[in-house]
């Protein structure tokens, strides 16, 4: 059942990516950010009310820090989705476990093990292999922004961990993240001007928010009811679903070399996730009496 929840979440995230690319034809970048965040904040606020969690927090500063980094990661991810093939952009976003390993090593001053070094180097080799054949001419900025999305996502998760350890409910963390995104989106779009939405475009922008929210909810259910290592590794199925949608909706074809690069990145991410899990297990065993 845990595997099913994560696979469903991966489908929702892939559908969100496809909806972003479809909507970007007629809707501006900050409008996409606004609709994604606004619909999400409504859904999460309703869930908070239903569960009677409350909106007040004693960690507003930490929420704002997480929201700023998380929204920056989202903006970078959306930008790369709009300007790159979906499979490439999605894979770049999923480099975050590689960056998380580096961040954990730097912040915790951990030991540079051979396994850690191998997983990080393998990931970056995969990035080079993936980008060499698939980056269109003139899309190098979007590629770097896609990689920045992976780095910022890793930093955002680092701050989410801090908030969760203070006892903050995950729904409240998501609420403040989406609230900041909504405010930034409405201010920026208000300055530029909202686009007129026809029926198809309205459906697309609603789909962005709904699929994104459903993806977060089902992903949270998967992490809450199963082995986080298995769930994290299964999250890479989003790349597979995104590749399929890219081919069906946008005729984006994947070369064998690009597929090999994606496989290396997925393998690297899986090794990084497994390494962090084993390190946590050893640490927990060490503190037991």
Q: How far is it, in rounded angstroms, from Cα 106 to Cα 93?
A: 21
pLDDT score at 131: 62
Q: What is the pLDDT of residue 145?
A: 92
DSSP structure string for 129-157 = HHHHHHPPTT-HHHHHHHHHHHHHHHHHH
Pair 201, 26: CB distance under 8 Å: yes
pLDDT tens per residue, range 198-215: 899 999 999 999 999 898
The 3-state DSSP class for residue 244 equals helix
Measuring CA to CA, which residue among 65, 84, 119, 130 is closest to residue 261?
A: 130
pLDDT by position in tens, the chain (length 289): 667 888 898 899 999 999 999 999 999 999 999 999 999 999 999 999 999 998 998 889 989 998 999 899 999 999 999 998 898 888 888 887 777 777 766 766 555 566 666 766 776 677 667 666 555 555 778 888 998 998 898 888 777 778 878 888 888 988 999 999 999 999 999 888 888 888 999 999 999 999 998 988 888 777 666 666 566 677 778 888 888 899 889 998 877 777 777 777 777 766 766 665 555 544 443 334 3
Residue 284: what pLDDT? 42
In this structure, are residues 147 and 88 in contact, taking their beta carbons and an 8 Å threshold? no
- For 78, residues 6+ apart whose C-beta sits below 8 A from its C-beta are 20, 29, 32, 33, 36
Note the pLDDT of residue 184.
93
How many angstroms separate the CA atoms of 68 and 46, rounded? 23
What is the pLDDT, as a whole number, of residue 286? 36
Distance (Å, rounded) from C-alpha 169 to C-alpha 53? 8
Nearest to 32 by CA among 201, 180, 170: 201
Predicted local distance difference test score (pLDDT) of residue 82:
92
Going by the DSSP 8-state scheme, the letter that residue 220 receives in this structure is H
> Where exactly are the structural domains of the chain?
1-274
């Amino acid at each position: 059942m845990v595997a099913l929840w994560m696979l469903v979440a991966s489908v929702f995230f892939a559908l969100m990516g496809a909806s972003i690319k479809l909507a970007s034809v007629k809707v501006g970048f900050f409008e996409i950010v606004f609709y994604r965040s606004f619909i999400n904040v409504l859904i999460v606020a309703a869930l908070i009310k239903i569960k009677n969690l409350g909106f007040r927090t004693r960690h507003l500063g930490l929420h704002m820090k997480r929201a700023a980094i998380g929204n920056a990661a989202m903006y970078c991810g959306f930008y790369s989705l709009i300007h790159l093939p979906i499979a490439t952009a999605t894979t770049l976003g999923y480099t975050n476990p590689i960056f998380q390993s580096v961040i954990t090593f730097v912040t915790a001053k951990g030991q540079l093990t051979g396994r850690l070094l191998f997983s990080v180097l393998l990931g970056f080799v995969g990035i080079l292999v993936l980008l060499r054949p698939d980056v269109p001419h003139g899309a190098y900025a979007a590629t770097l922004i896609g990689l920045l999305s992976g780095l910022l996502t890793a930093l955002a998760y680092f701050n989410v961990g801090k908030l969760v350890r203070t006892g903050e409910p995950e729904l409240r963390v998501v609420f403040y993240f989406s609230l900041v995104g909504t405010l930034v989106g409405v201010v920026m779009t208000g300055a530029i001007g909202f686009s007129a939405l026809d029926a198809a475009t309205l459906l697309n922008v609603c789909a962005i928010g709904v699929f994104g929210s459903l993806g977060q909810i089902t992903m949270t259910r998967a992490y809450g009811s199963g082995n986080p290592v298995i769930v994290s590794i299964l999250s890479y199925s989003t790349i597979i679903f995104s590749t399929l949608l890219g081919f069906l909706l946008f005729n984006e074809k994947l070369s064998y070399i690009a597929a090999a690069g994606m496989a290396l990145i997925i393998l690297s991410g899986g090794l990084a996730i497994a390494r962090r899990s084993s390190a946590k297990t050893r640490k927990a065993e060490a503190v037991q009496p």
